[in-house]
Structure 1
Amino acid sequence: MDISHVTNPSSSMSTRPNCQVFLSFRGPDTRRNFADFLYSSLSDVGIRVFRDDEELEVGKEMNPQLIQAIEQSEISIPVISKDYASSKSCLMELGTMVKRMDNKNHIIIPIFYYVDPSNVRYCTGPFEEALNVHKKRGRDGSFLNPWKFALQQIGDLTGYHLQEKNEKNHGEVIKRIVYEVEQKLKTRDLIVPKQLVGVDPHGQEIMAKLKVDYRNGKAVKIGDTCGKVLIHGIPGVGKTVLAKCLYNQLNHLFDACSFLEKFQEEIKDHGIVSVQNRLISHLHKGNAQKFDCSDHALTQIQSRFLDMKVLLLLDDVKDRDQLSELVGELDWLGQGSMVIVTSRRCDVLQKVNGAENYALGLMKEDKALTLFCKHAFNTDSPPEGFERLATDIVAATDGLPLALKKVGGFLFSKSKQAWMEKLMQLKEAPDESVREAFLESYNTLDVNAQQIFLDIACFFNGMDKRIPHYMWYDLQCFPSLSIPSLHAMSLVEIREEKELHMRGILKKFGREIVKSENKNEPCQRSRLCNHEEALDVLMGRKGTKSIEALGLKFANGSDSTSFECHQFDGLQNLRFLRLDQADIRGNFWDHFLKLMWLDWQGSPRILECHLKLNPLKLVILDLSGSQIGRGWRVWDLLTQARKLKVLKLTKCTKLKATPDFSDSMELERIILEGCSKLVVIHPSIRQLEKKLVSLNVKGCSLLRKLPDLGPMRGLKELVIDGTSISQINFKEGSMMMLKTLSARNCGGLTDIPDSIGCLKSLKYLALDGSGIRTLPESIRSLKKLKILSLKNCRRLTNLPDGIRRLSSLQL
């Protein structure tokens, strides 16, 4: 008997045979062909097999090592040949298998090797003869009963039949046996956490995207095409766990599988060919040539796996170039193959035909609380006295699974005081494990994207991305490249109305990076977004050239502060300043020489301020909610702001009319939203004909008329929602660049003129809640129109036939 896995019959429990499958066979019958082939095939796929190679001598008991091997293994495979029962050793092994099977702890897969299962079941034919021989050798026949019972049990099992009448290729039979053993042992399955919460719904959504037939919690059938799905999201959101769960549910449907993880370091140290060799070895089940050239490995992937149905899980792919370098074209894989890719980027499969994207977001509050409690308490809900703390900690982690797991595990069995202190930490910054994961993503960004990320985290979360774009462009941070890169990495979302949105945990991370520039001296950091720290720097005259952006935020109703110019000494590199409701006085001509954005919302009555500013670098001016009126004295100053691109006067409720617009101005965006007393827009706005891109007068309820906008050749967006405007005229050749026209809730707007057909570039037209009765037939000329919104137009009775010709319209 081969006991290569065993040291000594009397050895300790720790040295027991470490096997998964016990292979039992009668040596002279099957050794040189079937049994050896089966043993090798099982071993080649990584299954640990114990086989009994020696005959038990007459009168001897079964070796304890054999009993241990059977008891330890999960599956036994008896190869029942014609002379199987003539071996006392085989019959004793069979009896031990059946005992284990009766205890429901063991699986038996019998192979009827050119024998009739009925002869085994009823102990007839060669099995009867063999039992009679054993009976003659023994003192009595009592020992035969358990053997007969074992043979009867085995004969009743469904197994594999090899028959001369219906000869099957041994290789095909063994392939099926190996496949079944892999499924029953789940040798292809990957390790996933025991504390899984909320994973199944995501898995089912992805199964549906991949057209997988999924019934009763199991994947039963896949399509004939090559399925491809990308699971993307921020670090720590659970992409790998979800992908592993999918892999475990699907792997039984494929000829071969490969899971590649943590290969970024491997590529760095050994090159991508090392990972390719691993992939090829997996799909060849260990028997594969090793390549020393990536191109040769790609050729092997292209030619060898075209006829195979394979499952690939590629975890944490850097970008689409790396994916292409690693596996070439995904269509090289055989029909019915499937590729699951996880990445921090959402564009990895952007150029792959038929690929599906799945964005994995943060957990919802109830599921997040359950996951946290599993790690913190080993229960699904918090115990009495910890309900509020647990809920607050979950909120502070923003529902990020990695944070929930790490923080929950850390707090297990800790005191309530420790919980309170941990909560205080989490409110200021993410857990250390989360910071490390985020830092990996942050470090892959170029310096421009990093600067924009920090700006958003500190100041611009929730803002229309088009406004800070002007400052970033002047700083040569290349926002048209950097923001899509941040979006692709799931570090920034772009929501409706082009709003920048950053998750709370990411915002904390960004602010922590800024804080780490100098932990003890805020004045040495690049950005000051904490009100108390910013106020302390100004009041203490601690300004330094390190500070590029500073923001104050006085609580509503609280007394604001008045600053003199000397308190801003040292801030020569300031490019963004948020004063909130503060007052500043004095001669600032030699200050703020690099100031690009002045955010002075809720400013005091500027016309009474004795203020002198140098606006030569100013790009964005936001005076929203301020007390400005028609006689605002700073207008002369603003005419000197030759680089000013954005003027935002939202909710300036005392503004009744805009002053003259100088033709020297470079204004591209004028935002007058919510100026409830505004009645006149000065006709000089036409002097901005080539420059003005957006005019927003939403909520200016007293505004009844627009100036002649015919010459506005650069205008792309016109928003007049909630105004009293009753008529809009579009001259031939006017506003040829206009893409967005929003006139929601304009009750006095009863007619749209035929001239709307001149707006050849229009893509978005919203007339919700307006008083229109019909639309002109000329609307058919709007070939680029994608969205036409007519909600709650109660007077609208019919639509023109021309709407049918709007080929770009999205239904």
Structure 2
Amino acid sequence: MKNLVGIESRVEQVITLIGLGLNDVRYMSIWGMGGIGKTTIARAVFETIRSRFEVTCFLADVREQCEKKDITQVQKQLLDQTNISCNAIYNKYDGRTMIQNSLRLKKVLLVLDDVNHEKQLENLAGEKDWFGPGSRIIITTRDVEVVKEQEVHETYKVEALVESEAFNLFCSKAFKRSKPSGGFLDLSKKVVNYSGGLPLALKVLGSYLNGRPIVVWHSAMEKIKKSSHSEIIDVLKISYDGLDSTEKNIFLDIACFFKGRGKDYVTRILKGCGHDAEIGIDILINRSLVTLEQETFGKVTLGMHDLLEEMGKQIVIQESPSDASKRSRLWCYEDVDFVLSQKKENKATHSIILYNMYRVREIERNWGDLDRRDLSFSNIWQLKLLILDGMTALILCDIPCTLKVLHWIYCPMKTLPFTDQRYELVEIDLSYSKIVQLWDGKKFLKDLKHLNLSGCYKLKQTPDISEVPNLKTLYLVECKELNYIHPSLAHHKSLVELNLRGCSSLETLADKLETSSLERLNLCSCYRLRRLPEFGECMKQLSILTLRFTDIKELPSTLGNLVGLSKLDLAALESIVHPVSLGCFVGLKKLDLSGCNELSCVPYGSHGLESLTVWDSSDNSNIVGLLSSLSLLTSLSSLKLWVSFPTSKEYDLGHLASLTDLDLSCNSFSRVPISIHQLPRLKCLDLNNCSFLEVLPELPSSLRELRAEDCYSLDASNVNDVISKACCGFVESASKDCEEILQIVIHGKEIPAWFEHQEQHNTVSVSFPQNCASTETVALALCFLFEDETFSNEQPSMICNGKEFISKSLLKVSSCICSENLFIVCLNGYYFSNLLSQHNRFQMLFPNIEVQRCGARWLVLRNQTSFLSNYVKVQLSEKIIYIGQRQLSVPKVHYIYHFPIKFILNYIKGFVSAASNYSASWILSQTGSLMTLFQPCSTVESIQHHIAVKPTFVEYQDLLEDLEEKLSSIANTEE
């Protein structure tokens, strides 16, 4: 709930209504008008209480998903998000049964967001007996009538923000602070008043007015006055009207076509159409018209509120309400059918996109001809963007000369109907199509930059690209029948990336490659490829060469011409004995020799390597020489050794002084080389699935991540010893970088006794240690044991006294965790110092993972005097510390505490936030008490004087910036 104005109290109300202490199954609805914050509240409630449930699922945008997909696909998504594997769902009745059978014995938290029809509820959460005791189903909707057929226990109506909340939210967007700049106070109050307390309108308007001159504010006010409070879209359109023509076009494209699509994908298409996409999208994000959504596995997609999406589509429809042929964009199947059937001149439409697979099949059935329907776009004179993904019953009769981007995945055609005229195409994507030959002879496509024919299983040869001078990328992945590469490719001067992965029929590439701009060449899994081409002297740009799983016997001597090579993958080239000297590759950083069983040493000249991978599944006698030659690699930072270590010799890895990542997983040794303790920079050690490993050596204090899952032979006492020493070593070394944490996943069946505070499930209570002079000289080690083997795509979160305090991205837990593995995390007080009290509760939330037991232990830095010398000194001269509404007792009157500057600033910010609910006189009276706690070197008088002459609440809030500047200068002076 960080940075969410007015949310906390609403979340508390919803949680109270939902009755978490009751063991029955309960439905609850959250309803209100669009843009009021229903989804935001539901998401915050979900994140707050999810740890109390066995299975959780937040199913977003139910209305939109049901419009775009068959209900069975939505049912399957629900099951997938609860980590329940299921085969295809053939009809909605099977889906209902599968949901009931999968969840009826589990305590479930299910949020169905934006439901607009009772049938959606009927098919996704139809009856109470679908869910186990204690389950909670939360439904957000604009229409309370939708849930009347369901037995809903509680209904929460989301009201508009109160005036103070609305004012704060608006100011945070319009001024990036909590109060208006000079001269804008009255105008700000008027905007807030006319916005009706709607969070969406406040954010959009505030972002639009940010940095604008006062004349623009007056103009916006006039437009707002003309709209009634209920016409929110008219209010939102003010921000749209303030965009320039390019930004408007990008906004409309996203609203009509690209909501929910990957940012990189959309950016590339819009650039192909001639838009400055990167800048335009950033402006829309800054104006709160578009959001970035982080999906699982790191993909970033473009999000947009459904009201803004509706506004964008309405703007396009209003271009010509009764005649779709006069609209700029078409995304509705019926409209496209109408326009194409008219066969009349069309100068308005420039974009047509149909890529909804479920609706595609439906519309094709309605058209009646599943075998063929000829499409002609010759009358659409300005068509630039055409996407027909999945339309398998259509035949393209012509390609408009004006077309910039053509995407047609699963295209049924054998070739494209190019003529001799000149085309403006920038990108063609015909992935997984029936294309046999893209075009015949030469085609002049001077603007074409990207060509993707991946998965075209009938493609036998690449086209002649001699008249395609600006082609940058050519993807031919998994073209199983491809057996001929046109000679024009070997001499192309602009090609940057060529991907032939999985072209299993390809036997030869070319006699000689002279592609001077080529940077990436992927020949992985070209199983019949026996010979590499010679490389011309001009190929200095090639940086990544992937040859794994080919039948190449030897490397050409001209490989030395690739002076820019930084990554070379020779994995599974079993016959390679003496690869060419790597001395000429001065920039080579990554080398993969996995499965090169005949190799007896690291190739000569590889001393500059930063990453090396060696894998050998056989009892290879050459491995002795290979391991011995590692001493040459003094720059190595990442090493993967999946080999059979000879038991007769202890191998010294201590000379690899630059090594930060060491992967020894899946090895059969019983002991890890003890020399790893001598690696001064080692951060990550991977020993997963070393099932014969019995003992771990002492680990270096620099270690921050240890993975030893499924090491079944590890001695329990050794595990306990390793954990305690690793945590203690971390405390002493982490003071150099307070933002680091230590994470360990290791085989174990019970929490080690070293964790002196232990409790059931995922929460443990600990009192602050009495022998610690500061929260910055203490660390906390937490240990978790899981119930059963389980799987989750989501990262856990850390909670201290009810507040999340660490970024999920920092916690690197395996997605599949076995019940006989322990997860240990050790972190210092930097992360939670401003949340601590005398008695504390720490909790780790694992989505959809049940924690059996957890433990905790405080760790105090031994040499506190040295550590504290770089921190601002703070004298506590009172027995009571006021932190907002909470009081902390101080045992003695005169203690000297030491805090880093970040802690002091967080402390004051927390006080300012808490004080916002009190009168100016109370604030002023408490400020003096507060500031006597902070007496850093000869500056307290100036700060107290500054506060004393700031008598009003609004002026008081402005103090924070001044305090930050003063305290920062103090910290710099102290250091």
Question: What TM-score bracket applies, with the shorter chain setting the length?
Answer: 0.3 to 0.5
Normalised to the residue count of structure 1, the TM-score between the two structures is 0.42
Normalised to the residue count of structure 2, the TM-score between the two structures is 0.36
Q: Which protein has the bigger strand share? A: 2
Asked which structure has the greater CA Rg, the reply is 1
Q: Which protein has the bigger helix share? A: 1
